[in-house]
Amino acid sequence: MEHFAARVLSNRQIAESWRELVIDWPAQAPEPGQFLTVRASPRFDPLLRRPFAFAGFSRERCEASVIYQVRGEATRLLADLAAGARLDTIGPLGRAFPPPGKGERALLAGGGIGLGPVLFLAREFARRKREGVATGEDGLSPALACFGFRTAASVPAIEWPEGVRIYTDDGSAGFAGTPSSALAEEDAGPGRARIYACGPAAMLAALAALAKSRGWNASLSAEQWMACGVGACMGCALERADGAGFLRACADGPVFERDDIDWAAEAARAAR
Amino acid sequence: MQPTLSVQIGPLILENPVGVASGTFGYGSEYEALVELNALGAIYTKAVTLAPRPGNAIPRIVETPAGMLNSIGLANPGVEAFVEHKLPELKTRRAAVIANVAGASEEEYLAVLERLEEAAGPWISPPEGLPISACSARTGIDGYEINVSCPNVRHGGLAFGTDPIQVERLTAALRARTRRALIVKLTPNVADIAPIARAAEAGGADAVSLINTLVGMVIDVRRLRPVLAMGTGGLSGPAVRPVGVACAYKAARAVRIPVIGLGGIMCADDALQYLLAGARAVQVGTGTFVNPRTAEEVLCGIRAWMEREGVERVEAIAKMLA
């Protein structure tokens, strides 16, 4: 991890309420699932750094991107950054998605604003395919990569990797339905698939349950408020599934395995 | 003129007055990639308790205007794991290592301190006038900060820290068991901090550090519930700085032992406010979350200010307040 003043290269609206921020990345190459933190303002309100998952990284151009939603003051300030502005940045942070095991099909699912890390993973698969670097069961591509959105208006206008399937709740773009239902139609046997996902807590809980019922592995990216982002403050705790305390979203995650976290409890908490 | 930055806290001379506060810096290694640990005057560890503590229910943190609330609940692996996994690495630090000790009862505080004393071995008194950072033989623990001020646990914590009689008794019992620097960390959640500071001094403390966090609450008006799972939490960050400076000012006039000031320090001027109020050293806490290099920048700024003002020693700053 490094701490530096990144230069904003672009910062544009890509969907109804989402934006893509591209910054130069002179630091260690990030991996899909990892995140960065930024200080949205040099002043003290908002105070804390904000974490964002990498949505892409170009080795050739040394550029990294994140996709974010304008939700509060910090993201409003981010949205105001023009190309050329400097952004106080720390990264890469956290645990990345692990590679698929031998003989495992990679099943990718991104939901809503959680699309970033899964998009980055799909992009990496595509890059490796182009470069002929082996990954996953067939060595070159995920068996399935789907992204779900509410309506056509929330589907980001970006360059999607080849083979990606778009789902909308109302069928106004791509297929009608959700990534979860698409993954449920997969017929891989026990131990023959690994789900990679990020999205709403309810979606992650459904996918963890699906993986469990099929005997698949699942690497799921969780979300929690953070203060330090480096494992020091214990603020971003998530409940362990085995009841033995907590894990830190920032340093033990944000990518966790199927049985690390009680995903159903997280979904219930989010719904309260 | 080169100012002298070292400051004395009981038997311990810190190379410089800027430390990083307990609970905001883990055990040091968490920030190693981002912070020049050797530049720090002291590292105050995450609180150590007798048994492992998983910590409080989630969510544990929420941002507030120019601040944050936390309700971590002293999450830590317990004294045995600290001794086994953290102490070896702490022995390699140049900065003074101050172990923050917490407990739910007097017996627990004593048991933790006794175990740490046993594990670190006897205090090796540095040669006269030498900062601990210049000593070759290090034990991994150069002092203790006694946390009698955590607002986020049911037992111990605040229950001790708001009662001068208990503070004095606990401090005296701990004093009898260590020759290392003994610092008592005080809460601002009292009507008057002076009697508590005097109680720590009477018990034999080498210094008091203040302030711990202020009790606060944020309510989610859509969900009709407090945001934090525990309801309340401890407020920190720039929002609390004026409270901390006032407490340091009062405490410094109530006791002869050094005061270590903390609460909302984000830059050198903030730290200088504490030093002018009467503190001999400072800690950076929440500021590290925002900018991991805050402590380094604070130290640079204090040095530059002393050079500019022609101040030779940190202790002299306290006498400059009009």
pLDDT by residue (tens digit) across A78-128? 999 999 999 999 999 999 999 998 889 999 999 998 999 999 999 999 888
Domains of chain B are 7-56+72-215+236-320 (3.20.20.70)
Q: Is B18 left (phi over 0), alpha (psi -120 to 50) or beta?
A: beta
Q: Which residues of B form the catalytic set?
A: 150
Q: Is the pLDDT of residue B262 over 60?
A: yes
Q: pLDDT tens for residues B67-85?
A: 999 999 999 999 999 999 9
Scanning B152-181 for CB atoms below 8 A from A yields none
Contacts of A223 (CB under 8 A, 6+ apart): A114, A201, A249, A254
Q: Is the pLDDT of residue B158 over 80?
A: no
For chain A, counts of helices (H) and of strands (E): 5, 15
CB-closest option in A39, A224, A238 to B290: A39
For residues A207 and A181, is the Cβ–Cβ distance under 8 A? Answer: no
Q: Mind telling me how many Å the CA of A78 is from chain B's nearest CA?
A: 16
A245/B293 CB distance under 8 A: no
Q: What is the pLDDT of residue B156?
A: 64
- Residue B233: in which H helix or E strand, if any? strand B232-236
Q: How many residues does chain A have?
A: 272
Q: What is the pLDDT of residue A135?
A: 57
Q: What is the pLDDT of residue B136?
A: 84
B54/A245 CB distance under 8 A: yes
Select from B126, B121, B127 the least CA-distant residue to B140.
B121
CB-side neighbour CA atoms (13 Å) of B75: 25
pTM of the model: 0.96
Instruction: Flag residues of chain A having pLDDT under 50.
Output: none
CA gap A178, A166 in Å, rounded = 9
Total CB pairs under 8 A between chain A and B: 102
Residue in chain B nearest A48 by alpha carbon? B290
CB-closest option in B30, B66, B286 to A230: B30
User: B1 or B222: whose pLDDT is higher?
Assistant: B222
Banded pLDDT at B159 (limits 50, 70, 90): confident
Q: What is the pLDDT of residue B242?
A: 98
Q: What percent of chain B has pLDDT over 70?
A: 99
Q: What is the pLDDT of residue B39?
A: 96
Residue in chain B nearest A92 by alpha carbon? B33
- A→B contacts (Cβ < 8 Å), by residue, are 1-3, 39, 44-49, 88, 90, 224-239, 244-246, 251, 269, 272
Q: pLDDT tens for residues B167-180?
A: 999 999 999 999 99
Q: Mind telling me how many Å the CA of B68 is from chain A's nearest CA?
A: 8
**What is the strand order of the sheet A255-257 is part of?**
A175-176, A165-168, A144-149, A105-111, A193-198, A217-221, A255-257
CB-closest option in A39, A90, A235 to B61: A235
Q: Which two tokens stand for residue B213?
A: 């966090």
Q: What is the pLDDT of residue A207?
A: 97
ipTM of the shown complex: 0.94
Sign of CA dihedral B86, B91, B94, B95: positive
Q: What is the pLDDT of residue B154?
A: 67
CA gap A173, B38 in Å, rounded = 56
Any A CB within 8 A of B227 CB = no
CA gap B58, A237 in Å, rounded = 7
For residues A87 and A161, is the Cβ–Cβ distance under 8 A? Answer: no
Q: pLDDT tens for residues B76-128?
A: 999 999 999 999 999 999 999 999 999 999 999 999 999 999 999 999 888 88
Domains of chain A are 2-93 (2.40.30.10), 105-271 (3.40.50.80)
